[in-house]
Amino acid sequence: MSELAHGADGPIPAAEVPEMELPHPHGWWTTYVFSQDAKVIGIQYSLTALAIGMVALVLSWLMRLQLGFPGTFSFIDPQAYYQFITMHGMIMVVYLLTALFLGGFGNYLIPLMLGARDMVFPFVNMLSYWIYLLAVLVLVASFFVPGGPTGAGWTLYPPQAILTGTPGRDWGIVLMLVSLCLFIAGFTMGGLNYVVTVLQARTRGMTLMRMPLTIWGILTATVMALLAFPALFVGAVMLLLDRVLGTSFFMPTLVEMGQQLRYGGGSPILFQHLFWFFGHPEVYIVALPAFGIVSDLISTHARRNIFGYRMMVWAIVVIGALSFVVWAHHMYVSGMHPWFGFFFATTTLIIAIPTAIKVYNWLLTLWHGNIHLNVPMLFALGFIVTFVNGGLTGLFLGNVVVDVPLSDTMFVVAHFHMVMGVAPVMVIFGGMYHWYPKVTGRMLDSAMGKVHFWVTFLGAYAIFFPMHYLGLLGVPRRYYEIGETSFVPASAHDLNAFISVVALVVGAAQMLFLFNLIWSLWHGKDAGPNPWRATTLEWQTPETPPGHGNWGRELPVVYRWAYDYAVPGVEQDFVPQNQPLPPRAQVAKGDATP
């Protein structure tokens, strides 16, 4: 190891990072409800996202009941089925995954991992959460309005999204669009905070290249979200105007039931471009924080420095940039100039390169590591396997000629559930088991955790593996009921029933997780400040759970990168980032493995 500026002769004076004024709470309401502490806001975001995620989980149960046992449940009519699909998709992608990764993990971890006291704009940060909550409430309200929530499919494609005959055409679609606009406004407030905090509030010694990969993932995803969400915002506002004021941004000339509608001249394809210009980066807005978190989980629980840290950072940035030039691969079946198809297929396949670099680096980090198969590690491993699985089918679907026949089949459902459903959720669980001890001071019960993992992991495969096969058979997605179709064999119906039963079981396993979250609050083992013996700053706080302002009197000073595990020649198997010198003598330059 080489020494930078300061000598090896002991501690450095306290950090000269300018102290920020913290808005200190004055009582119960400002401590726990209208709190401006990023940690409380992070917990609020997480709990709200989990709550609305439970709604989406129940919706998926209802959908599976219909698909597995068509006609058995009289309350699921075609209209309700489409509403379930739409709300399930939108809630899971936007209100659960995006909010939980950026709002939840982002708020909790960014200041702690960077050695900051709080986010740079605490008030705006608080506002961000409350607007998010409002967006969620508006969305939930659509279940209770006449006509129910919209059933336009989570992509909300016009013209059908706002035509009569689509469920929720009267109120549901309006509330959905308003809720999305609110969400975006709220997210922008949070996003500004995350980016400026990373740029400005890092403690002394925390260079960009010493940041944990979690922060790199969240930072890049936030920048992407800030640039991608405006596209959804524009699309949502224009669609809203089409619906409410009768403009024709997206609505072509239409004849409905023999009646010429007043619309005319709009372009539905324009909406698709706007939607997917947001929609594809959205995949990576969810995936990049997951990549970052999983890197930290693997390194910590395999007691080994992350392999190819630099390459990991570069790959995150490259994936972020590339994800803006692939959106039209969601639109192959909408028809496009062949050159466009060629271009977008090429860019799509190129993304596989930085992604594969990350996967190899995770595997090489595990190689010869001291792998602790505890619950966070299990989920991290589950993520790698699932992400590779989902990514490989992505290579199929990225090609125009393969995508066109498969596009409207269950194959696509299987692909995106693997790659952006199950895989990020694995990381969310892994992250929660990993950081729960810091948040609450107690460990989650690991026996329950292992049951939760195995049921979820094996169950997810039992659900989504057969779906690939159904898709190859030609079983269409989005259909309420297949009925008697000549090319669908009877065995496909049995498979559908099997998938539905497993889906119920996997859903039930999540209740165990929720129970664990609550039970461990009182009965969990005492965690102590650093139960995983991890190097990053959040584990070095003077109090657990950390108090308001995080660091007591003085900010920590960072002396090293985040992955000094099993450093050769050092007795302790980890060296925290804020520790000036390892207990033993310095190692000769070049000994440390990259």
Partner 1 sequence: MTGTLLFFGGLVAFALWWLSRQGLAAKPWLESGVPGDAPAGDTTISAAKIGLAIFMAVVSTLLVLLLSAYSMRMEMADWSPPPRPGLLWANTAVLVLASIALHHAVHAAKRGRRDAVASSLLVGGTAGLFFVLGQLLAWRELASAGYLPANNPADAFFYLITALHGLHLLGGLVALGRTGTTLRRAPLARLQLSLELCASYWHFLMAAWIVLFVALAFAPPLDWLVALCTAPLR
Q: List binders of partner 1 among 335-364 (CB under 8 A).
A: 339
Minimal distance, residue 500 CB to partner 1, in Å? 41
Of residues 265, 335, 568, 583, which one binds partner 1 by CB under 8 A?
A: 265
207 or 260: CB nearest partner 1: 207
- DSSP result, 292-336: HHHHHHHHHHTTSPPTTHHHHHHHHHHHHHHGGG-GGGG-GGG--
- Minimum CB distance to partner 1, residue 502 (Å): 42
Contact status: 330 vs partner 1 (CB under 8 A)? no
Element (H, E) at 347: helix 338-350
Cα angle 577, 583, 584 (rounded to 5 degrees) comes to: 120
Q: Is 360 helix (H, G, I), strand (E, B) or coil?
A: helix
Residues in the chain: 594
Rounded to whole angstroms, the Cα distance separating 161 from 240 reads 10
**Closer residue to partner 1, CB minimum distance, 18 or 27:** 18
Please identify, using beta-carbon distances, which residue of 88 and 280 lies nearer to partner 1: 280
- Please give the Cα distance from 262 to 254 (Å, whole number): 8
From CA 65, how far away is CA 78, in angstroms rounded? 13
Write out the two tokens for 340: 């466009």
The correct pick among 31, 79, 155, 247 for binding partner 1 (CB under 8 A) is: 247
CA gap 555, 487 in Å, rounded: 67
Scanning residues 1 to 40, which ones bind partner 1 (CB under 8 A)? Answer: 1-6, 12, 15-18
Q: Residue 33's CB: how many other CB atoms inside 10 A?
A: 12
- As measured in angstroms, the least distance from the Cβ of 307 to partner 1 is 10
Q: Measured from the CB atom, is 17 or 254 closer to partner 1?
A: 17
| Interacting positions 86-145 with partner 1 (CB under 8 A) | 120-121
What residues numbered 226-245 form the site for partner 1, per CB under 8 A? Answer: 226-227, 230-231, 233-234, 237-238, 241, 245
| Residues facing 259 on adjacent strands | 256
Torsion, CA 93, CA 97, CA 101, CA 103, rounded to 10? 80
The single residue among 61, 130, 157, 314 that binds partner 1, judged by CB under 8 A, is: 314
Taking the C-alpha atoms of residue 122 and residue 125, their distance in angstroms, rounded to an integer, is 5
In whole angstroms, how close is the CB of 120 to partner 1 at the nearest point? 4
Contacts (CB under 8 A) with partner 1, residues 159-198: 188, 191-193, 195-196
Answer for which of 254, 261, 317, 462 binds partner 1 (CB under 8 A) is 317
Judged by CB under 8 A, does residue 204 bind partner 1?
yes
CB of 397 to partner 1, least distance (A): 25
Phi then psi for 565, rounded to 5 degrees? -100, 140
Q: Is 256 in the site for partner 1 (CB under 8 A)?
A: no
Stretch of 104-112, 314-322, 394-402, 497-505 lying at the interface with partner 1 (CB under 8 A): 314-322
Please report, as a single letter, which amino acid is at residue 314.
W
The only residue of 248, 456, 530, 544 in contact with partner 1, by rule CB under 8 A: 248
User: Residues 559 to 578: which contact partner 1 by CB under 8 A?
Assistant: 559-561, 563-564
